[in-house]
Amino acid sequence: MAPQLTLAQDPAADEVLSQNPLALLIGMVLDQQFPMERAFAGPALLADRIGEITAEKIADYDHDELVAAFTGPPALHRYPKSMAERVQAVCRAIVEDYGGDVTRIWTEAADGRDVFQRLNALPGWGKMKAQIFTALLGKQLGLDAEGWREAAGSYGDEGSRRSIADVVDKTTLAEVRDFKQAQKKAAKEKAAAKD
């Protein structure tokens, strides 16, 4: 039985994330310049609009129709067209590299570093996104690949409140949001001090 995630803070959306690993990965793609819980609610909205979410289906989906599904209303993201294209590119890579089975990214990996490298190789993914998703797999989905915490960097730290990987309820969501706001404030202060 899949663990019950609470990333979207909405029972129906979280059920989609808990039952469909590709939906969870798509939520991670959308978690950029957009509120975390809304990003992770996006896959449920997408499923409402196009039906079951599979890598093959999205990879082959008509471009304009997929953009329309992302545009809504409501939109799945602040930048629906570019995010539709990014999600489609990721799904095409999953079909090509993993036979359409997103879980092979982590279930067939040699160790935590390999999980991170496979995620980092996805179109539009970078180091931070790959580290956060590695931490999410380890902290909430039972990933036991050796070295996953090290591969996740500070996002893998026990008891941290740095990212979506640490969100298990409304309280931890608020703590992660506070951490991110403090980081932004510190970065602004550092930039201002240089001027």
Higher pLDDT, 191 or 165: 165
Residue 130 has pLDDT above 60, yes or no: yes
Q: Report the C-alpha gap between 165 and 86 in whole angstroms.
A: 21
User: Encoding tokens for residue 18?
Assistant: 């808990």
pLDDT, tens only, 28-75? 999 998 999 999 999 999 999 999 999 999 999 999 999 999 998 999
For the cut 70, the answer to whether the pLDDT of residue 21 exceeds it is: yes
Backbone angles phi, psi at 118, to 5 degrees: -65, -40
In this model, does residue 186 exceed pLDDT 90? no
pLDDT of residue 1: 45
